[in-house]
């Protein structure tokens, strides 16, 4: 499969919002990444994500880096379960739509890990969405929602052309809401999946690097 358009030459930036997401990602990293991967904790919400991403990507080291927004999300489709993986084909925030051109590459690599993968639109929100808001987002065609991914990708592209992608692990889904019994089990499942999905991220990164 040919590499996605806009090949990059720089460390892979994995952007997440929460400390627990960063711990899961770092726990899945090999002992020596050779400076090829940087895990950036942005903090919660789209405004924080934009600030941290802009600060990091404007440095010389990361000026041409690909960016992958990751962490946990709320799944919107019936039948989704904690630990399912969402690969964004499009990320939406306000009236902006960001196409994730390499969704197929990522979905294939994640599927080879034996994980359940969904592809679709990842909606952005500036707050934790309520049940009625989730129904509205689903009616508009969104497969999942989180607060940082779309803002992260939008700001990444503002700093210059680069490959971007978003992969989220479902921690909350219809019938498996966070306040229900079983939340702890679902959260642990999502945490384990996030820590094991990194080989697919590395494979995506390899497809972007120039052939030497």
Find the CATH number of the domain harbouring 40. 3.40.50.1580
**For position 130, what pLDDT does the model report?**
85
Do strands 85-93 and 96-99 pair parallel, antiparallel, or not at all (unpaired)? Answer: antiparallel
Assess contact for 90 and 101: CB atoms under 8 A.
Answer: no
- End-to-end alpha carbon distance in the chain: 18
Question: Higher model confidence: residue 65 or residue 32?
Answer: 65
pTM: 0.89
**For position 4, what pLDDT does the model report?**
44
Separation of alpha carbons 145 and 148, rounded Å: 9
For residue 76, the enclosing domain spans 12-208
Q: How confident is the model at residue 109 (pLDDT cuts 50, 70, 90)?
A: very high
Q: For residues 85-117, b (16+ Cβ closer than 10 Å) or e, as one string? A: bbbbbbbbbeeeebebebbebbbebbeeeeeeb
Q: How confident is the model at residue 5 (pLDDT cuts 50, 70, 90)?
A: very low
In the predicted structure, residue 175 carries a pLDDT above the cut 90: no
**Do the domain assignments include residue 2?**
no
In the predicted structure, residue 3 carries a pLDDT above the cut 80: no
**Do the domain assignments include residue 106?**
yes
Place of tokens 């309520």: 130
**Do the domain assignments include residue 180?**
yes
Based on the structure, what is the number of domains in the chain?
Answer: 1
Q: How confident is the model at residue 200 (pLDDT cuts 50, 70, 90)?
A: very high
Place of tokens 């499009």: 90
**Do the domain assignments include residue 6?**
no
**Do the domain assignments include residue 133?**
yes
**Do the domain assignments include residue 33?**
yes
**Do the domain assignments include residue 191?**
yes
Place of tokens 């999905």: 197
**Do the domain assignments include residue 49?**
yes
Q: How confident is the model at residue 132 (pLDDT cuts 50, 70, 90)?
A: confident
């Amino acid at each position: 499969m040919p590499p996605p358009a806009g090949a990059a030459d720089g460390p892979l930036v994995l952007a997440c919002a929460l400390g627990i997401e960063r711990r899961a990602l770092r726990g899945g990293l090999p002992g020596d990444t050779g400076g090829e991967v940087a895990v950036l904790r942005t903090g919660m919400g789209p405004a924080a994500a934009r600030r941290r991403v802009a600060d990091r990507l404007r440095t010389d080291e990361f000026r041409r880096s690909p960016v992958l927004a990751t962490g946990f999300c709320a799944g919107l489709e019936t039948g989704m379960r904690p630990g399912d993986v969402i690969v964004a084909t499009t990320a939406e925030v306000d009236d902006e739509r960001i196409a994730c051109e390499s969704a197929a590459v990522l979905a294939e690599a994640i599927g080879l890990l034996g994980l359940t993968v969904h592809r679709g639109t990842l909606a952005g929100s500036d707050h934790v969405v309520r049940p009625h808001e989730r129904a509205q987002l689903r009616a508009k065609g969104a497969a999942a929602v989180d607060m940082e991914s779309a803002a992260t990708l939008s700001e990444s592209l503002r700093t210059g052309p680069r490959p971007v992608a978003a992969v989220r692990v479902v921690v909350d889904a219809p019938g498996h809401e966070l306040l229900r019994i079983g939340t702890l089990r679902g959260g642990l499942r999502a945490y384990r999946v996030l820590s094991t999905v990194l080989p697919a991220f590395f494979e995506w990164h390899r497809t972007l690097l120039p052939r030497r």
